[in-house]
Amino acid sequence: MLEIKNLRKAYGRHVVLHDVSLTLRPGTIHGLVGANGAGKTTLLNCLYGLETEMAGTVQSSTGGAVREITGLLPYEPYFYPRLTGREYLEFCLQARGRPLVDFAGWNRLLELPLDQYADEYSAGMRKKPALLAQLAQDFSYLILDEPFNGLDLEANLLLKELLRRLRDRGTGILLTSHLLGALTETADEITVLFAGRVQRHYIASEFGTLETDLLNSLHSEKLGLMDGLV
């Protein structure tokens, strides 16, 4: 289990996360939603250990460093210029001291031009090698920042099925998405972050009210404006 307790993170005077607690259990898909700037990416970075200056605790129940057993898919994966997709994947594994694997099977699924320069991939394609680099390492936990962003319909459907299968095999997955449907269709629990605070935690049986709750709480003023227009 990965556990965040009473996390507070500030950039200068700007407090981005206030007393946030969240648990990621094995064999669970945990969705994280919130408006732009709510603090989702910051929370993922704190959990993974990319941010160090913060108050509160981030712990793995096994006692080791979270990143030893966790893969991170960043919001915007970075590719070194003039590395092909295949070289990027090999680099990711070697950087972690992992044995190289044959990507052919995975790539029949993802259909990437692995011999093309990765920084020339289309926006939608760029998530795929970054995701593949994490999947090939067989982590206990995955932290995925907007994994559905930019993927085409087929890749979206495949990713949802893949996440469910990984969850059923015991992987704990924390993911953000602005696509509420993608989360309610896959997640076992969802945490709503509002202005750096946990607004509410939902279990699957409560997802039915999530959209209305979000509309009412986040946009009540805008709903009032809409009433005057439509």
Ligand X SMILES: Nc1ncnc2c1ncn2[C@@H]1O[C@H](COP(=O)(O)OP(=O)(O)OP(=O)(O)O)[C@@H](O)[C@H]1O
Residues in Cβ contact with 219 at an 8 Å cutoff, skipping those fewer than 6 apart: none
Q: Is 31 in the site for ligand X (CB under 6 A)?
A: no
Stretch that binds ligand X, among 33-41, 103-111, 155-163, 183-191 (CB under 6 A): 33-41
Q: Is 183 in the site for ligand X (CB under 6 A)?
A: no
Q: Quick one: 40 or 128, whose CB is closer to ligand X?
A: 40
Identify the residue among 2, 4, 16, 89 touching ligand X (CB under 6 A): 16
How far apart (Å, rounded) are the C-alpha atoms in residues 175 and 98? Answer: 24
Stretch that binds ligand X, among 18-26, 31-39, 157-165, 206-214 (CB under 6 A): 31-39
Q: How far is the CB of 40 from ligand X (least distance, A)?
A: 4
Q: Is 11 in the site for ligand X (CB under 6 A)?
A: yes
Q: Is 112 in the site for ligand X (CB under 6 A)?
A: no
Identify the residue among 30, 40, 126, 167 touching ligand X (CB under 6 A): 40
Q: Is 34 in the site for ligand X (CB under 6 A)?
A: yes
- Residues that bind ligand X (rule: CB under 6 A) add up to a total of 10
Q: Is 42 in the site for ligand X (CB under 6 A)?
A: yes
Q: How far is the CB of 177 from ligand X (least distance, A)?
A: 10
Q: Considering only residues 51-110, where is the footprint of ligand X by CB under 6 A?
A: none
Residues in Cβ contact with 182 at an 8 Å cutoff, skipping those fewer than 6 apart: 148, 156, 160
Give the 3-state secondary structure of 27-69.
CCEEEEECCCCCCHHHHHHHHHCCCCCCEEEEEECCCCCHHHC
DSSP alpha helix (H) spans, the chain:
40-48, 85-95, 104-110, 127-135, 153-168, 180-186, 210-229
Q: Is 174 in the site for ligand X (CB under 6 A)?
A: no
Q: Is 36 in the site for ligand X (CB under 6 A)?
A: yes
How far apart (Å, rounded) are the C-alpha atoms in residues 2 and 66? Answer: 7
Identify the residue among 2, 22, 24, 39 touching ligand X (CB under 6 A): 39
Place of tokens 């926006």: 123
Q: Which residues pair with 7 in a beta bridge?
A: 20
Q: Is 38 in the site for ligand X (CB under 6 A)?
A: yes
**What are the distances in angstroms from CA 4 to CA 32, 58, 66, 118?**
14, 5, 11, 34
How far apart (Å, rounded) are the C-alpha atoms in residues 56 and 4? Answer: 8
Rule CB under 6 A: which residues touch ligand X? 11, 16, 34, 36-42
